Amino acid sequence: MSNKINHSLSIAKPDATDISTKQKLALTTGIIGLFILVLALFNTNFPNKGLFLTLALGLISIGTIIYSRDAYLTKLEGIKNDGVWFKSISSRGVWGWIVGIILTTFYIVLYFFPKYLGLGSNGAENTGLISLFDPLSNLLSRRAASQWFVYGTLYTVAILAFGYKFILKYRHNRYQQLRTISVMFFQLGFAFLIPEFMYVMNNDLPYYDLKSMWPLNYYIFDEWSVKGFLSNGNIGLGLILFGIITIFVISPILTYKFGKRWYCSWVCGCGGLAETAGDSFRQLSSKKMSAWKLERWLIHTVLVFSVIMTTAMIYTYLGYDKNNFWLTRGLFTALVIGFLTLVFAGVLFFKKQELGKDAKYGAIGFFVVIAALLIMHFTGTIDNVFYIKSNSLRSAYGLYIGSIFSGVIGTGFYPILGSRSWCRFGCPMAAILGFQQRLFSKFRITTNGGQCISCGNCSNSCEMGIDVRAYAQKGENIVRSSCVGCGICSAVCPRGVLKLENDNMEGRINPTEILLGNDVDLMDLVNKK
């Protein structure tokens, strides 16, 4: 081997984790693909848009595929985390920041200035990047592309290409492979293709991603959406009923049996992107106690807010008179309050102990919702707050939570805050599922007796910022509302300490003082006091 070259100028860890020639070629391929998109963004008018779009997406995918194959298939099966804290991109280095800023800028333009992406307004033709996607959109649903179509396509390509990478990275772990195939399937089918085909069948139906439930899909009960569904006869009615059933029936059953992972790690698109494209950033989430405190306040505030908002939204388009429709404003308010009270009372009755200190916060949230609804109902202010389209709370929610939080910060900040900061701090769906997971679910991560060596690999790779080690080293099972059941903590544990399982509710939460392996009498004495 020649040692003439290879004089590294890097002052960090020089060449500790060189990439191979093949990987460099793969990177080049991918970057050429990206470059075509950039050219389009700057209004290069490609002659044959279909060809260039195919080329761009194809090169990006092929680049990722070749890179992953060379990175993982040339080595034996096992954990592949060498150098993640050395690489600039995955350790908040210069590259991390650059990518973070590019992504964030992209999101800001996407949400607020789509015209810069080339969206034709008032019936004008698309230009720029969006026009490059016209051929694909025409092919799928016989209409011109929108900024959302561009975004959806890139999103899907990212999940598919990086999903492939993830599957190779964990090729010794069938749990990881299956759930990745699952999110790839749901993204491609449910989030991307089916809505396009539904549009072809019936172009008045609102966009509906069947797997996206309220409150993640916060606009499903909006007036335009509900009207859109209801004015479409049986399909529309069926869809909205399906929406209601998923939240109130299917989801609680599945969460009871499997924990919230059935959704967050197997179905959800936000989670899907975080697990695939965001995988390199999972270790960046903060494990500090202070971050946990912030998380609990933020996520529950978002939940409270989205409950109030949705209720109020429905309220605004219901009438006072029951001759028009059996569901009147008064009845609806009463039903919501009744339902919430039932849930709250049930929890207090059955789970007071497990809730402990959190009961107080739960109560605060509960009363805030009830009070807000009652005040608005009796003062008649709901219409004022919610109906005026501009300046209303509703669009504020859409703006701050829907776009800024989930997109700009949630995804744009992957390289800074870690891959699931939206899921962790902002997703109201995660809050609901998590609440159930903590209290009524068979799911837990079992800790294997006294085997933990406190190494910290598990905590380090928990994208939800759970300090898994804090439980494992006490021999305590992990039953946390925020756990999305990705299973990576279990995969990386070098001592086989963690297992995700669905088992009896009995003994699921098992705080211990003295761990298995020590004097039996002592364990009995101290643990069962």
Partner 1 sequence: MQEHIVIIGNGISGVTAARHIRKLSDKKITIVSAETDYFFSRTALMYIYMGHMKFEHTQPYENWFWKKNRIDLKKGYVNTIDVQNKTLHFSAGDSLSFDKLIIATGSKPNKFGWPGQDLEGVMGMYHKQDLENLEKYAPNKQACKRAVIVGGGLIGIELAEMLNSRNIPVTFLVREDSFWNGVLPDGESSMINRHIKNHHIDLRLGNNLKEIVSDENGKVKSIIIEETGEEIPCDVVGLTAGVSPNIDFIKNSGIETGRGVKVNRFLETNIPDIYAIGDCAEQHEAIGQRRSIEAVWYTGRMMGETLAQTICGNRIEYKPGHWFNSAKFLDIEYQTYGWVHGKKSKPENEVHFHWKHEDDTKCITIAYHKDTNEFLGINTFGIRMRHDIFDTWLNEKRDIDYVTNNLSMANFDPEFYSHYEADILSAYNKQLQIV
By the criterion CB under 6 A, which residues form the site for ligand SF4? Answer: 452-458, 462, 464, 466, 468-469, 472-473, 478, 483-489, 493, 495, 497-498
CA distance 418 to 464: 9
CA angle 262, 263, 267 (to 5 degrees): 100
Nearer residue to partner 1 within complex by CB, 3 or 21 = 3
Name the binder of 175 from partner 1, ligand SF4, none, CB < 5-8 A by kind.
Answer: partner 1
Nearer residue to ligand SF4 within complex by CB, 239 or 493 = 493
Question: Could you count the other beta carbons within 10 Å of the beta carbon of residue 504?
Answer: 8
Name the binder of 81 from ligand SF4, partner 1, none, CB < 5-8 A by kind.
Answer: partner 1
Look up tokens 């098992």; give the residue: 510
Q: How far is the CB of 45 from partner 1 (least distance, A)?
A: 45
Which among 412, 429, 301 is positioned nearest to 421, based on CA atoms? 412
Name the binder of 464 from partner 1, ligand SF4, none, CB < 5-8 A by kind.
Answer: ligand SF4
Describe the chain by its helix, strand, coil percentages, rounded to 5: 60, 0, 35
Retrieve residue 308's tokens.
């109030």
H/E stretch holding 443: strand 443-447
Nearer residue to ligand SF4 within complex by CB, 225 or 482 = 482
Nearer residue to partner 1 within complex by CB, 383 or 513 = 513
CA distance 226 to 364: 31
Nearer residue to partner 1 within complex by CB, 359 or 455 = 455
Q: What are phi and psi of 277, to 5 degrees?
A: -65, -30
Nearer residue to partner 1 within complex by CB, 98 or 526 = 526
> What's the longest Cα–Cα distance across the chain?
88
Name the binder of 41 from ligand SF4, partner 1, none, CB < 5-8 A by kind.
Answer: none
Name the binder of 178 from ligand SF4, partner 1, none, CB < 5-8 A by kind.
Answer: partner 1
CA distance 137 to 187: 17
Name the binder of 517 from ligand SF4, partner 1, none, CB < 5-8 A by kind.
Answer: partner 1
Q: How far is the CB of 134 from ligand SF4 (least distance, A)?
A: 40
Retrieve residue 52's tokens.
């260039």
Q: How far is CA 430 from CA 9, 221, 263, 292, 424, in A?
A: 45, 19, 9, 15, 8
Among left, alpha and beta (phi > 0; psi -120 to 50; other), residue 223 is alpha
CA distance 348 to 154: 45
Q: How far is the CB of 495 from partner 1 (least distance, A)?
A: 5
Nearer residue to partner 1 within complex by CB, 194 or 453 = 453
H/E stretch holding 439: helix 428-439
* Chain length of the chain: 529
3-class DSSP assignment, residue 514: coil
Name the binder of 43 from partner 1, ligand SF4, none, CB < 5-8 A by kind.
Answer: none
* Binding residues for partner 1 (CB under 8 A): 3, 6, 8, 13-18, 76-79, 81-87, 172-175, 178, 283, 288-289, 446, 448-451, 453-457, 459-460, 469-470, 473, 487, 490-492, 494-496, 499-501, 513-522, 526
Q: How far is the CB of 81 from ligand SF4 (least distance, A)?
A: 12
Q: How far is the CB of 451 from partner 1 (least distance, A)?
A: 5
Q: How far is the CB of 438 from ligand SF4 (least distance, A)?
A: 13
457 and 494 Cβ atoms separated by less than 8 Å: yes
Q: How far is the CB of 48 from ligand SF4 (least distance, A)?
A: 45
Q: How far is the CB of 461 from ligand SF4 (least distance, A)?
A: 6
Name the binder of 448 from ligand SF4, partner 1, none, CB < 5-8 A by kind.
Answer: partner 1
Nearer residue to partner 1 within complex by CB, 172 or 322 = 172
Retrieve residue 24's tokens.
């460099």
**Residue 203 neighbours by CB under 8 Å, 6+ apart:** none
Nearer residue to ligand SF4 within complex by CB, 168 or 458 = 458
